[in-house]
Structure 1
């Protein structure tokens, strides 16, 4: 339940964004913060979960995370401005970071050794199910009970988990003297946050005409530079060098980043397109995301249950090609279409992502020393999370830039003289305004399609990496 709760809250606001924007006066270019703030905060705290649990106790950290998560839910509903809402999402995301690794550790501890692989699969499926069902649940709740209900519904679930763990979960500590590389984590986080803010705020502040953008750019460059030097000059750090010596894990990390780059940004683009350009109600928008989620989880489970003797590389290649094909279908979207092309493309993309994620796990850990698998799993998860948050920033950035460019290209033909030549009588200003609205809608549609093209080419770029993966070792 905790794993599902953490995941579903990533995408719950997706279909409800029109209601949230209207209430909080949130600008269009601030919408991406609803997702990226939660994911980025989660990635940072997830990195230090093992150290926190070893120093203060697994149960104490787990319950503290649940309490903080509940407070974040309450603050979400009390927010009256977009900044307050984003700060509440940051708090909620930071609290969600420890929930997934600690939940998986608890599950594996109470599961017999021969069933741990299936338990890990169940946890992954539960997480992806949460991300996939979030838009449908959020759209339905916000349409009939108001957008605060999408957060209120999670409060009793959080309380149930807290009470259950308080009664049944035993405390467990590892070595209190365990060291953690805070310098490495800090420099890497500063680099990522600086890059994220640069992409999120650049268009609004006219890029390097703003001092803020210069500060964020310097922070990103300096953070990544210090982290790179730190990695090259120190034997042990929070991302062990030995992990990057395994070719399969290194390539899988890059591919996982791109899968994350496609997974959530597609949701972030599709819902606004359905609601603002095709005029679907928010609950219907949420329902239309269900086939994608069903295909994703179903393909993940079926691919994972395939015999271990099979080479997983063809499954990985097939899944990635299917994602590319689904995004190619999205290039045919138009304002005159019905729901069928959207459901079809979403279903195929979900199936491709599910196949790819399952096959990627086998490829990543098939050649890795088992003692490094927990850290390798954390690396894969972090790469997918950062892929999602960077992907959302990139598609939002290019969406608004492309909308303006296409609008200018179309509107230059919309002059009173050109219109009057094909119209009987005078053209009033309200009529010209209506025509301008049509042009804006067309420009936004073209811009959305352009972003699906970016996602398609991102996936195409990493498909050749599959040929460099080593064949996994046979399992004992």
Structure 2
């Protein structure tokens, strides 16, 4: 039974607020555990390589459900799908609070991510329906700013809560918000009878998903299972190769498929999507590295670790909003180049991090990187769609956002893998150099166990810090590799 919607402005405003709150909540929950990884790992006996699953599980599940959200809404009804997604999200939150093993916690994050991939586009659809046509054109920037604000403020909120309460409280805090959104949607959103299900390329979607999820599992599990010495890794590699091969053949031989060929013929769209992939790679990976560095290696408390993400958030959201005021006559390619340069400079500053530094280098580098990303994101969006056929913009928007999501999930997996390997190699190298000091090394053989444990902990900390710096080099290289693409962009067509 449905509840008719009140068409008055109060109802529209309440629905829009609930939809934007859901948008913020699902984006903030992605990095929410970032500032309290040490506490989560200690409680669940989670290894360092498993800690990366906290983010990749959420991102990968979101990337799977994001492309089919609109189809689900058209097939089963927007209200019903949205309510189920909220219920699944709340279930994931509850399961995270009662998890006692890494597998249980990762399973809870998978549920949260799967619901998030549906909530994000449908929240935007609900909010857009509450606005008059003339205001919908510029609303996309507001929605994106809220998504970004959620991503950059999540660690700060998580750290502040965890400093005064148990880490599980960070998930409890989202349950009342979920209940409020569910209540508003139930009472105010009209239940429309689902129409005929639109066409959807399930084969293309399935093979594309199989290829990327196989690659994701390969990168996540490889370091722990000694790569291709493991049968599991061989199966995941085979699944990834098979999925991507079948998807490639499907794209080349089928007239209608998951990704329209027309999108791939627009040079600006393709190049901008590649750069947007790199942007996602850098944004979440930096956060996944910085917070553990501060929390686990340098020993900062969770509230300080979370607070040090604020400069990046202020720079990102502030630059993004300022870009919305730039007149159309200015060539957006200049801003793309400027944004890339700012991000490269910020990543270069991160190479100078030291175990002896205070908080200022982290705050400054974060603010500069945030400003660069805040300039780059809207400039890339404008460039990507300015030359694209308007009939392809809906499909293009989905693919463009998917590029950022997959950039983030693969980026986190790659940096975690490299960190795991690099830390082990540096630990071996540093420990091996102790033999050069022969008298000191002889004395260690008779040293108390506590002394040896302390020495090993110090070496591990040094190796881990060197490993983190190595990760920042990867992020710098990613931006350097895509930076020449700016030269091949066509001048965007000015639009009103």
Q: TM-score, normalised by structure 1?
A: 0.97
Tell me whether 1:236 sits opposite 2:218 in the alignment: no
Deviations 1:270-321 (A, max 9, x none): 1111112111011110011111011101111111221112111111111111
Q: 5+ unaligned residues in a row in structure 1: which ranges?
A: none
Deviations 1:414-437 (A, max 9, x none): 139525289899755543433332
Tell me whether 1:20 sits opposite 2:34 in the alignment: no
CA distance in 2, matches of 1:421, 1:42: 51
From the superposition, tell whether residues 284 and 177 of structure 1 become closer, same or farther in structure 2 (CA, over 3 Å): closer
For 1:410, the equivalent position in structure 2 comes to 430
- The 8 Å contact of residues 416 and 427 in structure 1, kept in 2 or not, is answered as no
For 1:7, the equivalent position in structure 2 comes to 27
For 1:98, the equivalent position in structure 2 comes to 118
- The 8 Å contact of residues 32 and 158 in structure 2, kept in 1 or not, is answered as yes
CA distance in 2, matches of 1:15, 1:170: 39
For 1:37, the equivalent position in structure 2 comes to 57
One of 282, 289, 295 as aligned partner of 1:269? 289
CA distance in 2, matches of 1:283, 1:180: 45
From the superposition, tell whether residues 54 and 424 of structure 1 become closer, same or farther in structure 2 (CA, over 3 Å): closer
239-248 or 420-429, larger mean C-alpha shift: 420-429
One of 382, 385, 389 as aligned partner of 2:405? 385
342-351 or 98-107, larger mean C-alpha shift: 98-107
From the superposition, tell whether residues 183 and 313 of structure 1 become closer, same or farther in structure 2 (CA, over 3 Å): same
Provide the secondary structure at the position in 1 that maps to 2:417.
Answer: helix
CA distance in 2, matches of 1:387, 1:97: 15
Provide the secondary structure at the position in 2 that maps to 1:48.
Answer: helix
C-alpha deviation, 1:323, in angstroms: 0.5
Q: TM-score, normalised by structure 2?
A: 0.93
Q: 5+ unaligned residues in a row in structure 2: which ranges?
A: 1-20
For 1:441, the equivalent position in structure 2 comes to 461
CA distance in 1, matches of 2:41, 2:47: 7
For 2:187, the equivalent position in structure 1 comes to 167
Tell me how many residue pairs correspond in the alignment: 476
For 1:144, the equivalent position in structure 2 comes to 164
311-320 or 112-121, larger mean C-alpha shift: 112-121
From the superposition, tell whether residues 25 and 66 of structure 1 become closer, same or farther in structure 2 (CA, over 3 Å): same
From the superposition, tell whether residues 94 and 453 of structure 1 become closer, same or farther in structure 2 (CA, over 3 Å): same
For 2:396, the equivalent position in structure 1 comes to 376
For 2:92, the equivalent position in structure 1 comes to 72
For 2:14, the equivalent position in structure 1 comes to none
One of 64, 69, 82 as aligned partner of 1:62? 82
Deviations 1:213-255 (A, max 9, x none): 1000000100100111111111111221111111111111111
Structural RMSD (CA):
1.7
Tell me whether 1:206 sits opposite 2:223 in the alignment: no
One of 22, 42, 47 as aligned partner of 2:67? 47
CA distance in 2, matches of 1:100, 1:294: 22
Deviations 1:148-203 (A, max 9, x none): 11111111101111111112112346641422111111111111111011111111
From the superposition, tell whether residues 429 and 148 of structure 1 become closer, same or farther in structure 2 (CA, over 3 Å): closer
- The 8 Å contact of residues 71 and 197 in structure 2, kept in 1 or not, is answered as no
C-alpha deviation, 1:324, in angstroms: 0.5
413-422 or 198-207, larger mean C-alpha shift: 413-422
From the superposition, tell whether residues 417 and 345 of structure 1 become closer, same or farther in structure 2 (CA, over 3 Å): closer
Alignment of 1:309-348 (within 5 A): 309-348=329-368
